[in-house]
Amino acid sequence: MRIPAGRPDAIALLTGGARGTVRFWQMPDCVLIEVRLHDLPQTETGFFAFHIHESAAGGHYDPAGLPHPRHAGDLPPLLACGQNAYLAVKTCRFRLRDILGRAAVIHSGPDDFRTQPSGNPGPKLAQGIICPFFQNKC
Ligand SMILES: [Zn+2]
């Protein structure tokens, strides 16, 4: 796979109890997602669950009506390195156009990949709305 450089197709600016960015590229066969987190609090495990939610106030993005962790918006957790974390992952569970305007959410704890409906990840730590990159803000 060729990793793209330069401007992404969409971005979410994360704010709350940590800050960061989630950048998205629509590839021919998948969506590439890159997450950078800063100012993370120290936690028991150092893992932070990561999901795409239907909206800022909604549950996990789940157009097919599946259980967690088979929701389209379910993604791998981040692992802190000091106060920072980085993750790059690709998913084939949605197209980028399907998640514009939805929320990228980081939780304060790990995802157990079992508990319904959301993996018992603790309170939301930071979130941002997914916007086309050229808009800068939504
Ligand atoms: Zn889920």
Please report the domains of the chain, with CATH numbers, ordered by start residue. 10-135 (2.60.40.200)
Spatial contact of 78 and 85, defined as CB atoms under 8 Å apart: yes
- Summarize the confidence of residues 103-131 as an average pLDDT: 97
Spatial contact of 72 and 49, defined as CB atoms under 8 Å apart: no
Whole-number pLDDT of residue 6: 78
Ranges of H-type helices in the chain: 96-99
First vs last C-alpha separation in the chain? 31
Mean pLDDT value across the chain: 94
Whole-number pLDDT of residue 3: 67
Q: Is the pTM of this model over 0.85?
A: yes
Dist. CA 122 → ligand 1 center (Å)? 13
Dist. CA 55 → ligand 1 center (Å)? 13
